[in-house]
Homo-oligomer: A and B are copies of this chain.
Amino acid sequence: MTDVATTPLTEPTGAVVPSSVPTHWYNLAADLPQPCPPALHPGTREPLGPDDLAPLFPMALILQEVSTERWIEIPQTVREIYALWRPSPLIRAHRLERALGTSAKIFYKYEGVSPAGSHKPNTAVAQAYYNAIEGTTKLTTETGAGQWGASLSFACSLLGLDCEVWQVRASFDAKPYRRFQMETYGGVCHPSPSDLTESGRAMLAADPETTGSLGMAISEAVEVAAGDPKAHYALGSVLNHVLLHQSVIGTEALAQLDEIGETADVVFGCAGGGSNLAGLSFPFIGRNLTANGTTQVVACEPAACPSLTQGEYRYDHGDVAGLTPLLKMHTLGSDFVPPPIHAGGLRYHGMAPMVSHALELGLLEAIAVEQDDAFRAGVEFARAEGMIPAPESTHAVAGAMARARAATTDETILIGLSGNGVLDLPSYSDYV
Interface size class of A (residues with CB under 8 A): 35 or more
Q: Is A2 an interface residue (CB 8 A)?
A: yes
- Which of B80, B92, B98, B382 is A2 in contact with, Cβ under 8 Å? B98
Shortest Cβ distance from A188 into chain B, in angstroms? 11
Q: Is A254 an interface residue (CB 8 A)?
A: no
Q: Is A204 an interface residue (CB 8 A)?
A: no
Q: Contact at A386–B94, with CB atoms within 8 Å?
A: no
Q: How far is the CA of A315 from the CA of B15 in the complex (A)?
A: 48
Q: How far is the CA of A101 from the CA of B417 in the complex (A)?
A: 38
Q: Which of A84, A121, A176, A432 has the most CB of B within 10 A?
A: A84
Q: Contact at B422–A186, with CB atoms within 8 Å?
A: no
Query: Which A1-26 residues have a C-beta within 8 angstroms of B?
Result: 1-4, 7, 9, 13-16
Q: Contact at B84–A91, with CB atoms within 8 Å?
A: yes
- B residues near A7, Cβ cutoff 8 Å: 98
- B residues near A98, Cβ cutoff 8 Å: 2, 4, 7, 9, 13
Tell whether A97 pairs with B2 under 8 Å between CB atoms, given A183-B432, A383-B157.
yes
Chain copies in complex: 2
Q: Is A387 an interface residue (CB 8 A)?
A: yes
A2, closest chain B residue (CB): B98
Q: Which of A103, A186, A383, A423 has the most CB of B within 10 A?
A: A383
Q: Is A180 an interface residue (CB 8 A)?
A: yes
Q: How far is the CA of A260 from the CA of B15 in the complex (A)?
A: 12
- B residues near A183, Cβ cutoff 8 Å: 428-429, 432
Shortest Cβ distance from A423 into chain B, in angstroms? 6
Q: Contact at A115–B180, with CB atoms within 8 Å?
A: no
Shortest Cβ distance from A421 into chain B, in angstroms? 8
Q: Contact at B84–A115, with CB atoms within 8 Å?
A: no
A379, closest chain B residue (CB): B184
A410, closest chain B residue (CB): B1
- B residues near A425, Cβ cutoff 8 Å: 177, 180-181, 184, 423
- B residues near A102, Cβ cutoff 8 Å: 1-2
- B residues near A177, Cβ cutoff 8 Å: 177, 422-423, 425-426
A421, closest chain B residue (CB): B184
Q: Is A54 an interface residue (CB 8 A)?
A: no
Q: Contact at A13–B94, with CB atoms within 8 Å?
A: yes
Query: Which A129-157 residues have a C-beta within 8 angstroms of B?
Result: 154, 157
11 A-B pairs (CB sep. < 8 Å)? A1-B101, A15-B92, A15-B94, A84-B387, A115-B382, A157-B382, A158-B385, A181-B422, A183-B428, A183-B429, A183-B432
Q: Which 9 A-B pairs have the closest CB atoms?
A: A115-B386, A13-B94, A180-B425, A180-B429, A4-B101, A157-B383, A184-B428, A15-B94, A177-B425
- Given contact pairs A16-B260, A183-B432, A423-B423, enumerate 15 new A-B contacts (beta carbons under 8 Å): A1-B101, A4-B98, A4-B101, A7-B98, A14-B94, A84-B385, A84-B387, A85-B89, A85-B386, A116-B386, A176-B426, A183-B428, A184-B383, A184-B388, A184-B432
